[in-house]
């Protein structure tokens, strides 16, 4: 249906303002015609025959009133009077014209919009009544075309309209049914969105539909109080309706970054950029410092830089949610350290924030809620009445993480920091962490040393100094004791660009024993000096077994009885140090591989084999 509007007013600014208002609001008139005076208005009325006219009553001369009234009632279907004089005479003139409304200047934009939309709807309804569809007519599009590739459908322009929540689908569908589109679409409501399909037209119609989508968003927010996100797919000759829908469906995820009340044009599938979702060790350390220091500004700046300053191409929203859960893990640790997890209110808030991170559709709202929760934690942690509930062990471990670089760090100092007796703190630490103070401190230092060896070019002496070892020899001895290799060999191994199987084969040998014994079913000796059974298991998995001796038993012989740990000096390539990690782990008589005096096969450096006594 084509609807034309005539604006007849002597003030050019009034005419221009009305036209701009019509284009800004969802008032779908196809053409707007101007009349500068009575003569031009009457001429446009007779030539163009507009369906709706807005006429300034003050500019019609008295002697020509009857002629204009007859022409308006004959050619115009809807008349709106405009006047600057709120008098009885002007009201009577509006009644004689059969005007649907009388605007007294200055008129509010909202009244203009409501009156024009009402006129358009009445005209559209009248047109549908005058030309009803034939009884056998069927919808141009169906649900089958959205989900079945073999279903044929006419070329279409697709609008995918999504509200904030699925509960708003029903009112949104009713709103779209009554919305004055230029051409009535086929509406297909889904569980969380509504598909509007328009017969495909030219580029000009596509641009008009883009503008109309924005007007529809504004109208929906004003009338229903709901926020909409719209994806526009113009379609193509080679695309099926199912392909259009799938592309538009994927583009709905851009709402996570762009927010509501947006129109996105999606002609191609969205390309996501790669992102490591987990916090790096440096970022974890940074978060520990910000939380312990209650640095609200630093936390806010970090969150805004990481999440609210993103530009296309965006990472997949799922990866960003994982990154946010990594931050929640840091907050959880802070809550336990400060004893805040015992507060039922804060505990419930934590679970609410966790659900927000997983299910909230908008990123900026997640960041906002997370910042508010962090501020709540800071206020609770600063409350003196809560101090007695804080966990001394977690506080002590955090203090050790901060001060591990100091060689003089002692149990007494850490205990004083948390306000506990050294003996009592040592007891709490052993009971909760299952390690002694010295073992935990060494593990922390060696873990940081491993990171520096793998990621920096610092010398061994500098790394030892930074990790709390005043002597490089002592550092190397402790490092080899806990990892099974020297610092230099560890660095060479990490920097080597070998194949992945080689790295997987040696992975467990270069971890601190304190960490390994929590995750491995094997003993310390088996981890440092693999038994024949471990070697056989690795061989079955296809991993090269360079450290296995030829005198070992076959797999069948090792299935039923345990095998004593062997002396590493009897096997070439097992450990570059050539000896065990501890003196107390030296194998006893008969425990270092084959019994003394028995024969065995030994390889020389050139790859040959010779018989000898082990």
- Cβ atoms of 333 and 339 closer than 8 Å: no
The pLDDT of residue 521 is above 80: no
> Once rounded to an integer, what is the mean pLDDT over residues 1-26?
82
The pLDDT of residue 366 is above 90: yes
What is the C-alpha separation between 139 and 72, in angstroms, rounded?
Answer: 38
CB within 8 A of 384, min separation 6: which ones? none
How does DSSP assign 373-402, residue by residue?
A: HHHHHHHHHT-GGGGGGS-HHHHHHHHHHH
How does DSSP assign 456-479, residue by residue?
A: ----HHHHHHHTT-S-HHHHHHHH
What is the C-alpha separation between 565 and 533, in angstroms, rounded?
Answer: 11
Query: Among the listed ranges 362-366, 391-395, 484-488, 520-524, which one has the minimum average pLDDT value?
Result: 520-524
pLDDT tier at 11, thresholds 50, 70, 90: confident
The pLDDT of residue 448 is above 60: yes
Homologous superfamily in CATH for domain 4-130: Response regulator (3.40.50.2300)
Of the candidates 257, 137, 157, 236, the residue with the CA atom closest to the CA atom of residue 199: 157
**3-state helix vs strand vs coil in the chain, percent to 5:** 55, 10, 35
Query: Percent of the chain beyond pLDDT 90?
Result: 30
pLDDT tier at 559, thresholds 50, 70, 90: very low
Q: What is the pLDDT of residue 26?
A: 64
CATH 3.30.70.270 fits 144-265, yes or no: yes
Instruction: Tell how far CA 606 is from the center of its chain.
Output: 57
- Cβ atoms of 64 and 19 closer than 8 Å: no
Q: Is the dihedral of CA 595, 598, 601, 602 positive or negative?
A: positive
Domain regions of the chain by residue span:
4-130, 144-265, 281-388, 396-434, 533-614
The reply to whether 4-130 and 144-265 are identical in fold is no
The pLDDT of residue 343 is above 70: yes
Of the candidates 443, 465, 592, the residue with the CA atom closest to the CA atom of residue 511: 443
The pLDDT of residue 355 is above 80: yes
The pLDDT of residue 572 is above 60: no
What is the C-alpha separation between 469 and 483, in angstroms, rounded?
Answer: 16
The pLDDT of residue 385 is above 70: no
More confident residue, 362 or 136: 362
More confident residue, 484 or 152: 484
Query: Among the listed ranges 25-34, 503-512, 564-573, which one has the minimum average pLDDT value?
Result: 564-573
pLDDT tier at 227, thresholds 50, 70, 90: very high
What are the φ/ψ torsions at residue 186 (nearest 5 degrees)? -90, 120
pLDDT tier at 210, thresholds 50, 70, 90: confident
């Amino acid at each position: 249906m084509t609807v034309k509007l005539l604006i007849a007013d002597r003030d050019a600014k009034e005419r221009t303002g009305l036209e701009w208002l019509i284009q800004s609001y969802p008032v779908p008139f196809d053409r707007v015609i101007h009349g500068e005076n009575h003569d031009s208005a009457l001429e446009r009325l007779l030539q163009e025959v507009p369906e709706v006219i807005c006429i300034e009553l003050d500019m019609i001369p008295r002697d020509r009133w009857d002629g204009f009234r007859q022409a308006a009632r004959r050619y115009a279907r809807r008349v709106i009077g405009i006047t600057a004089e709120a008098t009885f005479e002007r009201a009577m003139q509006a009644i004689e014209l059969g005007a649907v409304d009388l605007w007294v200047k200055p008129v509010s934009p909202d009244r203009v919009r409501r009156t024009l939309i009402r006129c358009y709807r009445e005209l559209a309804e009248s047109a549908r009544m005058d030309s009803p569809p034939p009884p056998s007519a069927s919808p141009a599009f169906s649900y089958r075309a959205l989900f079945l590739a073999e279903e044929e459908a006419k070329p279409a322009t697709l609008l995918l309209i999504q509200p904030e929540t699925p509960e708003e689908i029903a009112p949104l569908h009713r709103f779209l049914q009554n919305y004055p589109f230029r051409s009535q679409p086929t509406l297909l409501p889904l569980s969380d969105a509504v598909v509007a399909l328009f017969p495909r037209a030219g580029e000009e119609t596509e641009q008009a539909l883009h503008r109309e989508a924005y007007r529809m968003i504004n109208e929906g927010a004003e009338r229903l109080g709901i926020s909409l996100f719209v994806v526009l797919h113009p379609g193509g000759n080679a695309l099926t309706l199912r392909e259009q829908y799938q592309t538009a469906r994927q583009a709905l995820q851009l709402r996570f970054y762009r927010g509501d009340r947006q129109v996105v044009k999606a002609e191609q599938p969205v390309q996501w950029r790669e992102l490591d979702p987990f916090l790096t060790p440096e970022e974890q350390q940074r978060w520990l410092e910000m939380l312990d220091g209650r640095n609200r500004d630093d936390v806010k700046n970090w969150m805004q830089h990481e999440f609210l300053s993103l530009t296309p191409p965006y990472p997949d929203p799922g990866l960003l949610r994982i990154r946010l859960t990594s931050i929640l893990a840091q907050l959880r640790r802070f809550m336990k350290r400060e004893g805040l997890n015992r507060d039922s209110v804060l505990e419930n808030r934590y679970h609410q924030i966790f659900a927000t991170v997983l299910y909230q559709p908008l990123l900026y709202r997640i960041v906002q809620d997370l910042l508010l929760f962090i501020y709540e934690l800071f206020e609770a942690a600063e409350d003196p009445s809560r101090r007695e509930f804080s966990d001394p062990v977690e506080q002590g471990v955090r203090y050790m993480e901060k001060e591990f670089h100091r060689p003089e760090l002692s149990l007494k100092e850490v205990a004083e920091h948390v306000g506990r007796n050294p003996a009592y703190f040592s007891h709490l630490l052993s009971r909760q962490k299952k390690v002694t103070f010295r073992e935990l401190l060494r593990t922390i230092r060696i873990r940081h040393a491993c990171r520096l060896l793998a990621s920096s070019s610092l010398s061994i002496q500098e790394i030892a100094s930074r990790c709390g070892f005043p002597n490089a020899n002592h550092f190397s001895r402790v490092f080899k004791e806990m990892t099974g290799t020297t610092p230099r060999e560890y660095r060479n191994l990490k920097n080597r660009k070998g194949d992945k199987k080689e790295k997987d084969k040696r992975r467990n040998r270069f971890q601190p024993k304190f960490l390994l014994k929590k995750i491995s079913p094997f003993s310390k000796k088996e981890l440092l000096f693999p038994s024949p059974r471990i070697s056989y298991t690795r061989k079955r998995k296809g991993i090269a077994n360079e450290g296995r001796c030829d005198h070992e038993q076959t797999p069948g012989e090792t299935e039923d009885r345990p095998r004593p740990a062997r002396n590493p000096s009897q096997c070439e390539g097992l450990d570059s140090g050539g000896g065990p990690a501890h003196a107390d782990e030296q194998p006893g008589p008969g425990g270092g591989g084959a019994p003394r005096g028995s024969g065995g096969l030994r390889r020389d450096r050139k790859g040959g084999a010779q018989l000898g006594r082990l």
